[in-house]
């Protein structure tokens, strides 16, 4: 199935990469601090569904097709940049509302329908934040092959590497969500919520600018 010596080298390497802050990190932090643990968990599940889709695309050869076409790669890159801009601007706009991020402490239990909408929005944000990131395509196609044994079928090896990356990502982001939930009471205050939304909004916009203007 896979060369286990290579696999054991892959694990610490991908752990280091997983821990590096990026758009997925930023959106998970903001979602948890603004909307709570449940929304944070749904956000990270969306992110890792994106990882699974990217891995499947690599197995099917779709990722190689995107990498081989400048037009397709640019479309994905600009779609990802625009989406990060949209998330960032949305966060900044929310900071100017009277109750940014949702109800205040006295109204801390939203209606069930509102909770479902928030959860769906968190899941969708996580999914598209990862799915529209062309760097993930590049990562899968350039990093994974270093740990694939050419003497063995490539598809099962790619699947195992992708699954491992996803599991490690879920573990790390779950820890992050739980840590953010611990400090969330600080951000119940209106002034802190505004600061959080503006800061994370700016970070997401900067990630979008970096993605848009980075050389392929």
pLDDT tens digits for 157-185? 999 999 999 999 999 999 999 999 998 88
Its pTM surpasses 0.85: no
Confirm whether 112 is domain-assigned. no
Confirm whether 110 is domain-assigned. no
Cα-based distances in Å from 55 to 70, 120, 121, 123, 131: 20, 23, 23, 19, 11
Confirm whether 111 is domain-assigned. no
Confirm whether 159 is domain-assigned. yes
The dihedral sign for the CA sequence 81, 83, 84, 85:
positive
Instruction: With beta carbons less than 8 A apart as the criterion, state whether 129 and 200 touch.
Output: no
| pLDDT attached to residue 66 | 79
The C-alpha atoms of residue 116 and residue 31 are separated, in whole angstroms, by 14
pLDDT tens digits for 91-114? 888 878 765 444 444 444 444 444
Residues 6+ apart with CB under 8 A from 173: 24, 25, 28, 44, 47, 48
Average pLDDT, the chain: 86
| pLDDT attached to residue 216 | 59
The dihedral sign for the CA sequence 10, 11, 15, 16:
negative
pLDDT tens digits for 43-58? 999 999 999 999 999 9
- Looking at the structure of the chain, the number of domains it has is 1
Confirm whether 113 is domain-assigned. no
Running DSSP on this structure, what letter comes out for residue 99?
Answer: S
Confirm whether 15 is domain-assigned. no
Instruction: With beta carbons less than 8 A apart as the criterion, state whether 59 and 129 touch.
Output: no
Full residue range of the structural domain in which residue 32 is found: 4-10+24-103+118-213
3-state SS assignment for residue 34: helix
Confirm whether 142 is domain-assigned. yes
- Tell me the average pLDDT across 130-134: 91
Q: Which helix (H) or strand (E) holds 3?
A: none
Q: Give the dihedral of Cα atoms 75, 77, 83, 89; nearest 10 deg.
A: -120
Confirm whether 16 is domain-assigned. no
Instruction: With beta carbons less than 8 A apart as the criterion, state whether 93 and 171 touch.
Output: no
**Cβ atoms within 10 A of the Cβ of 15, count?**
15
**Cβ atoms within 10 A of the Cβ of 196, count?**
21
């Amino acid at each position: 199935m896979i060369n286990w010596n290579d696999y054991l080298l892959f694990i610490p390497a991908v752990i280091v990469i997983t821990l590096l802050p990026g758009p997925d990190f930023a959106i998970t932090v903001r979602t948890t601090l603004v909307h709570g643990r449940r929304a944070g968990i749904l956000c990270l599940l969306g992110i890792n569904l994106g990882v699974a889709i990217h891995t499947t695309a690599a197995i099917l050869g779709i990722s190689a097709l995107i990498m081989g076409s400048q037009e397709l790669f640019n479309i994905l890159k600009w779609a990802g940049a625009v989406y990060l801009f949209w998330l960032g601007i949305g966060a900044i706009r929310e900071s100017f509302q009277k109750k940014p991020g949702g109800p205040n402490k006295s109204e801390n239990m939203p209606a069930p329908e509102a909770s479902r909408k928030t959860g769906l929005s968190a899941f969708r944000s996580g999914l598209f934040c990862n799915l529209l990131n062309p760097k993930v395509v590049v990562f899968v196609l350039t990093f994974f092959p270093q740990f694939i044994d050419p003497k063995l079928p490539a598809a099962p090896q790619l699947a195992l590497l992708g699954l491992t990356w996803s599991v490690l990502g879920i573990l790390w982001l779950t820890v992050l969500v739980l840590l953010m939930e611990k400090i969330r009471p600080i951000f119940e205050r209106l002034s802190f919520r505004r600061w959080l939304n503006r800061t994370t909004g700016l970070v997401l916009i900067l990630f979008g600018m970096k993605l848009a203007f980075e050389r392929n």
